[in-house]
Amino acid sequence: MSDNDGKKTLGLRGGPRSGNVKQSFSHGRTKNVVVETKRKRVVVPKPGAAPGAKPASGGMGKPAGGAAASKRPAGISDAEMERRLKALQAAKARETEEAAQREAEEKARAEERERLRAEKEQKEREQREAEERARAKAEEEERKAREAAEVAKAASTPAPKGEPEVARPAAKPAAAPRKAEREREDRGRGPKAREDGGRRSGKLTLNQALSGEGGRQKSMAAMKRKQERARQKAMGGSQPREKVVRDVQLPEAITVAELANRMTEKVADVVKALMQNGVMATQNQSIDADTAELIIEEFGHRVTRVSDADVEDVIKEVEDNEEDLQPRPPVITIMGHVDHGKTSLLDAIRDAKVVAGEAGGITQHIGAYQVTTESGATLSFLDTPGHAAFTSMRSRGAQVTDIVVLVVAADDAVMPQTVEAINHAKAAKVPMIVAINKIDKPEANPTKVRTDLLQHEVVVEEMSGDVQDVEVSAISGQGLDELLEAIALQAEILELKANPNRAAVGAVIEAQLDVGRGPVATVLVQNGTLRQGDIFVVGEQYGKVRALINDKGERVKEAGPSVPVEVLGLNGTPEAGDVLNVTETEAQAREIAEYRANVAKEKRAAAGAATTLEQLMQKAKEDESVTELPILVKADVQGSAEAIVQAMEKIGNEEVRVRVLHSGVGAITETDVGLAEASGAPVFGFNVRANASARNTANQKGVEIRYYSVIYDLVDDVKAAASGLLSAEIREKFIGYAEIKEVFKVSGVGKVAGCLVTEGVARRSAGVRLLRDNVVVHEGTLKTLKRFKDEVPEVQSGQECGMAFENYDDIRPGDVIEIFEREEIERTL
């Protein structure tokens, strides 16, 4: 190696093929020599460098200095390159420090875990030692008891004959010191120390001493509590037990003991809390819900108020999902006048002979049938005797009917019961189909039927209306197919659906007490599926389905939506219109039935529960949403009935009006009372009276019946009742002015205005407004009105007084007080 003009040459074997020699320069001073061969890169330290010294590199094994300067990007100086190298070295140093710090933290955590484990082992060891000491102490006490028993036995054993009895008293001196020692220990320990062993009651017999039965034995719970206390004491003292917050269900009335049980608190603590709140009650006395709520909150628990009506929550209506609903057959009710052929028409549809089995050819009860048409459609029919059951079902909220078929005889036209059927259908808001029956008779006049229906706002399709009408004949079968098609079309428009895969809900069509089978109810299932063995509640009755019988008298296992069946297994006879609900358990059904029976009993016993005219007026004043006054009118002749209805239509204004549910000619019947009870309306009779059954029903249902012989008296009473629906008019009456002369501050009262009444009179009960520059700044009531030092009811004009406002103190001299009174003026029609 030689030096030539500042350059160093390295001679290596192999010539040029051995590798290329590169030099690194840093300010003209050679630092390292890099030899690049085909296989590897060798860094040769400069001559005179220390053995083992690392070559200066620019990071990642690259040489620094001239070679690096030749490869680095343009614009970076040597100083910038050195600064970057120093930053890299500082980053590496920080990483080294962080790694050392993490290692130290891991070591500290391991030491802490080791310390905690050692402490835990020490506590367990101390606990075991404490338990061993307690066990040894118990064994020592047991040994002493055995020794005392042996001494007592030896003292009580008689000496053999022939031996002197001097040995017997010798046991007493040995037992006496032990007895005195036990007494001293008991006195030193005090009352609490004797709790462990307990004191025996009565004399200690020899058998008790020998068998170990002397004294009271501890329970397992007491032993566990003792061990827990010892363990906590060994671990460094007992920890306070965490308070458990509970949700306490609170009915309208509850006994103190039951309240303490639901809170899991001591009865004595609850009684003490009641006494602190001024309520003296023992554990067996009942307290009201408000007082119990205060006690529950005082103990830190949460209150959940419940009522007796919550037992019905288990049968609340559940909304079905749209995908669970399936089409169901429509329920059609046949209605119309007597002897217009309702049942005969239904017989012709179902090819049965029901009329032959009825007394006198008149339907005596509701018939529920299912019919399958030639097209495969299933229809459920209800045949009603008059309309009483239809009304009672609607009054109980059982809307079982989907379509009403109004049967009118072509040779008889519209009759009173036909009008009642129309009113029932309108009140129930169900679509109607008119079946003009007996069309095959020579005197049939269907045009007259359609014309008469116009008087009752029933416009059939022949008269360009929207009510379907079909001419049929129950005898010849004419028009039956068209009637079924009309029913199917109406059902398709209604899109009737139900969910068969749920608990059944149905309505009682009729119920009777059968001699051999007991209470039997005809139920029309509305939703879900009723199965044999289901537990159900219906009205005030409950039971379990023992058997299901369809309309053909056959036993079936289940009944789906819109299927009428007879249900056996009730504990009593329900009423028509009661809703049947399936429950999970018999206890739930019994609770619901008992609750409903109690509510019905209270309603019957409550005085003044009737739907009287005065109560309607009071209810109308309380309920602002009532805008209609429903009534029923029966008169002796058609002309009087029409005149009364026209007079009723003239009563009212934009806020209130009278609605005549039904008007007719003849005596007041039980049907009229049923319709009035369902709609909450009174019945007005003009020159007519109610029959005996109607009077009894009205007394039971609480429906008021009023009789009139002068039409003006009837109109005046209805007008007075409708006037009660009008809200009273509020008017303000100015009574005086007062001017504030000075403002005083009175302790306990606040600011008091010294006033001079300039006009009228100032009354304490009147309303006041504070005017400042003729602008109202406050409106309220007076807190005080004084004349000198006395509180006075009023102050006349020209006199001075002191006034203070309720919850308002911003009063200034020069303000004016306006005094006024409000009065309500009853409005009349």
Indicate the range of 20-34, 88-102, 241-255, 336-350 predicted with least confidence. Answer: 20-34
Mean pLDDT of all residues in 558-568? 89
For the segment 126-135, what is each residue's pLDDT rounded down to a tens digit?
988 999 889 8
pLDDT at residue 335 is higher than 80: yes
pLDDT at 37: 45
Q: Which of 518, 512, 543 is nearest to 530 (CA)?
A: 543
**Measured distance CA(538)–CA(510) in Å, rounded:** 12
Task: Please list, residue by residue across 579-612, b when 16 or more beta carbons sit within 10 angstroms of its beta carbon and e when fewer do.
Answer: bbbbbeeeebbbbbbebbeeeeeeeeeeeeeebe
Mean pLDDT of all residues in 17-30? 43
Half-sphere exposure of 735 (CA within 13 A, CB side): 19
User: Are the C-beta atoms of 671 and 384 separated by less than 8 Å?
Assistant: no
**Measured distance CA(524)–CA(503) in Å, rounded:** 14
CB count, 10 Å around CB of 212? 12
pLDDT at residue 276 is higher than 60: yes
State the pLDDT confidence band at 375, using cuts at 50, 70 and 90. Answer: confident
Tell me how far the alpha carbon of residue 542 is from its chain's centroid: 24
For the segment 472-483, what is each residue's pLDDT rounded down to a tens digit?
988 888 888 888
pLDDT at 360: 41
Residue-averaged pLDDT of the chain: 77
pLDDT at residue 190 is higher than 60: no
Half-sphere exposure of 309 (CA within 13 A, CB side): 3
What's the one-letter identity of residue 1?
M
Mean pLDDT of all residues in 614-625? 60
* Residue that has been written with the tokens 């709609």 in this structure: 679
pLDDT at 208: 63
pLDDT at residue 109 is higher than 80: yes
User: Are the C-beta atoms of 562 and 331 separated by less than 8 Å?
Assistant: yes
State the pLDDT confidence band at 399, using cuts at 50, 70 and 90. Answer: low
For the segment 697-732, what is each residue's pLDDT rounded down to a tens digit?
888 888 889 998 878 788 888 888 877 766 666 778
Helix 267-276 vs helix 256-263: crossing angle, to nearest 10:
120
**Measured distance CA(712)–CA(720) in Å, rounded:** 12
pLDDT at residue 28 is higher than 50: no
Q: Which residue has the higher pLDDT, 54 or 474?
A: 474
User: Are the C-beta atoms of 584 and 314 separated by less than 8 Å?
Assistant: yes
pLDDT at residue 803 is higher than 60: yes
Contacts of 745 (CB under 8 A, 6+ apart): 751, 752
**Measured distance CA(560)–CA(325) in Å, rounded:** 13
pLDDT at 267: 92
* Residue that has been written with the tokens 């919550």 in this structure: 310
User: Are the C-beta atoms of 817 and 740 separated by less than 8 Å?
Assistant: yes
Distances (CA, A) of 204 to 171, 194, 526: 17, 17, 77
The first and second tokens of residue 498, run together, are 């139900």
Mean pLDDT of all residues in 369-383? 79
The first and second tokens of residue 587, run together, are 């206890």
Q: Which of 533, 526, 531 is nearest to 580 (CA)?
A: 526
User: Are the C-beta atoms of 563 and 550 separated by less than 8 Å?
Assistant: yes
Question: Computed over its alpha carbons, how large is the radius of gyration of the chain?
Answer: 51
For the segment 213-271, what is each residue's pLDDT rounded down to a tens digit?
545 667 788 888 888 888 877 776 555 666 788 888 888 788 899 899 989 899 999 99
pLDDT at residue 383 is higher than 80: no
The dihedral of CA 238, 242, 243, 246: what is its sign? negative
The dihedral of CA 18, 19, 23, 24: what is its sign? negative
Percent of the chain with pLDDT over 70: 73
**Measured distance CA(503)–CA(57) in Å, rounded:** 86
Q: Which residue has the higher pLDDT, 3 or 267?
A: 267
- φ and ψ at residue 470, rounded to 5 degrees: -135, 135
pLDDT at 268: 92
Distances (CA, A) of 599 to 567, 578, 778: 25, 15, 50
**Measured distance CA(480)–CA(437) in Å, rounded:** 10
**Measured distance CA(649)–CA(643) in Å, rounded:** 10
**Measured distance CA(378)–CA(357) in Å, rounded:** 25
The pTM of this model reads 0.46
**Measured distance CA(793)–CA(779) in Å, rounded:** 20
**Measured distance CA(588)–CA(14) in Å, rounded:** 108
Which stretches within 3-77 are classed as H helix?
A: 66-71
Q: Which residue has the higher pLDDT, 383 or 756?
A: 756
pLDDT at residue 406 is higher than 60: yes
Strands 7-9 and 2-4: antiparallel
